[in-house]
Homo-oligomer: A and B are copies of this chain.
């Protein structure tokens, strides 16, 4: 949560001179997104978000992200619309950073979304999976299963700050996940980071999906696993099956899952838990004690991982292998 790059008034006005966005009323850096600098711009016409891409985002990936958001918004999804300047360009350079101007989406996020929101999220996730099929560019998942062993090795014995023997325990659980990792499930573009803070609502109406900067090509149902982990566990660590069922029903109302995909949910969700556990653990170890931004507790995701590795079957998620009953059954 930070604004890393400052945009002064001279720079802003020079940049906006290339756009038809009216006159500036206010301009404030907002504390959203850990990867980029974001500014909320109000003009006499509308509200906008100006995003400056910081160094953690690879400039070569920007055309993919822009194409994805343009494609999804053209297809009617509620996501930020990348706006072209009068010269037709979307990506620009200001203050030493690549940047782009986006439409502003109304809505706020829920830290612990209710069932109705989980259902809406599921439906939007499936819609994203279907509508992103038309995107021509591709981006590999830099944080996919192939990276987890390397990540764990780089953490090494430091993992034992979580408890004696943790490095070995994590290694064992990671091997278990990788041995069962499916290789024949439908692929496509996934959001890969659709946590509640990246989904906006007004009331229970989903008004926006944001922060596409982890989007990549991977197993579609893996994205479902990421959402189960971030939407369906309560503050006390318990798994809320009612929310899980709502999320899955929402998803399947748009894109029904195959039995193979359903059967893989436990290992995909465990893999997602492993991915966030490992990156959080890495940040936990490498963030200076006096940093303004506190790292997130990796143990939250360790508990989630253990849940998925302990379930006896997919009914634990409120789903089963029978196809949804039709009206005529």
Contact = CB atoms under 8 A, between A and B. Distances in A.
A29 B27 contact: no
A9 B40 contact: no
A283 interface: no
Task: Count copies of this chain in the complex.
Answer: 2
B25 A1 contact: no
A293 B26 CA distance: 23
Given A290-B288, A291-B292, A292-B291, A2 B31 contact: yes
A30 B27 contact: no
Contact of A109 (B9, B32, B104, B108): B9
Interface string A29-46: 111100000001010000
A255 B37 CA distance: 42
| Main DSSP-derived SS at the A contact region | loop
Contact of A3 (B9, B31, B111, B288): B31
A105 B9 CA distance: 17
Given A40-B40, A288-B288, A292-B292, A108 B26 contact: yes
Q: Size class of A's contact patch? A: 35 or more
A91 B223 CA distance: 43
A28 interface: yes
A106 B292 contact: no
A108 B27 contact: yes
Interface string A188-214: 000000000000101000000000000
